[in-house]
Amino acid sequence: MVGAAAGRVAVRRSRLRAAIGEAHMPVHISDSAGIRVTFERGGREIDSATATTGERALKVGILMLAKLDDLRDGDKLMVTETR
């Protein structure tokens, strides 16, 4: 193959590799720390989410509690910083 035909074949091959997962995939890496909000009941994690600020973590925690039908003895809403 010469010239343009070789170029078209190379493009098709790269598209095929991408379609079947052999190509490199872009990845987003967050370098900022976050805040994890976790709700536990009976020692088991029921719900968990990550927030970027304390303000957002507060809203996430309130929404987690609002989704519940009731609170029970031993329920825990934990807020921890992730790195």
pLDDT tens readout for residues 38-69: 999 999 999 999 999 999 999 999 999 999 99
Q: How many CB atoms lie within 10 A of CB 56?
A: 15
Given a cut of 80, is residue 7 above it in pLDDT? Answer: no
pTM flag (> 0.75): no
pLDDT tens digits for range 12-41: 666 656 655 554 555 544 545 699 999 999
Residue 69's Cβ-count burial label (10 Å; 0-12, 13-18, 19+) is exposed
Residues 6+ positions from 38 with CB-CB distance below 8 Å: 45, 47, 48, 76, 77, 78, 79, 80
Average pLDDT over residues 61-78: 95
